[in-house]
Amino acid sequence: MKTLFRGLAAALLACVLTACPETTVNDDFGLKPAVLKVADWDGTWTPVDEGDDDAVQFTVANAAQGLLVLTEPGKKDAKPIEFRIRRATAESKIKLSFAVAQERDAKKPGAASLFLMRTAESGVLYTWGINHDAVAAAIRSGQLKGSVKADKDGAHSHLDSTAANYEKLLEPQFWSWSEPTCLKRAKQ
């Protein structure tokens, strides 16, 4: 699998510039900001299945608010991506958080992309992409709160920031569980 953040950046850009199926959320999606440990996040990360050429840099911008900024070292035209890491559940044993991502300079209310992340620890980070079709079907059936706009290229879904959605979204059908992206922290 290609690198997580190259994929994230491409997905963000593609969905902004084209009419591909997408799922968007507001910046406040999730129970509350995850409190980040700078030592667990700051630094260079590389994909497990790719070379060091695809490295990304995470910088904790606000630990208490779960705010990360991702940049691609050496890529002058790459725009920073802001991630708001927010708790998916109140259960402290579950280490899954929502990652609400948007280009830092092009913020539009309600236009952030949603990913699922396992809390970074021991130099390893896992992330999963959302299943846009499953989200659209769940909104249409009333299982999730939000709206769906049909388009010739697929459904454009927007999830409401409500606790009922957070719990429901932890069900397996909403994520690409068999295709996680795994990053390892580069030695410093």
**Per-residue pLDDT tens for 45-75?**
998 876 556 789 999 999 999 999 999 887 8
Strand, coil or helix: 63: coil
Q: Are strands 124-129 and 181-185 parallel, antiparallel or unpaired?
A: antiparallel
pLDDT value of residue 187? 78
pTM: 0.84
- At 149, the pLDDT band (50, 70, 90 cuts) reads very high
Closest CA to 101 of 75, 83, 122, 78: 83
Q: Tokens 């699998």: give the residue.
A: 1
Q: Name the percent of the chain lying above pLDDT 70.
A: 85
Kind and range of the H or E run holding 173: none
Q: Name the percent of the chain lying above pLDDT 90.
A: 60
Read off φ and ψ for residue 184, nearest 5 degrees: -120, 145
| pLDDT tens by residue, 89-132 | 998 888 899 999 998 776 677 789 999 999 888 889 999 999 99
Residue 113 to residue 22: CA distance in whole angstroms:
8
Instruction: Provide the 10 A C-beta neighbour count for residue 75.
Output: 11
Contact 52, 110 (CB under 8 A): no
pLDDT value of residue 41? 92
| pLDDT tens by residue, 21-43 | 699 999 999 999 999 999 999 99
Round the average pLDDT of the chain to a whole number and report it.
85
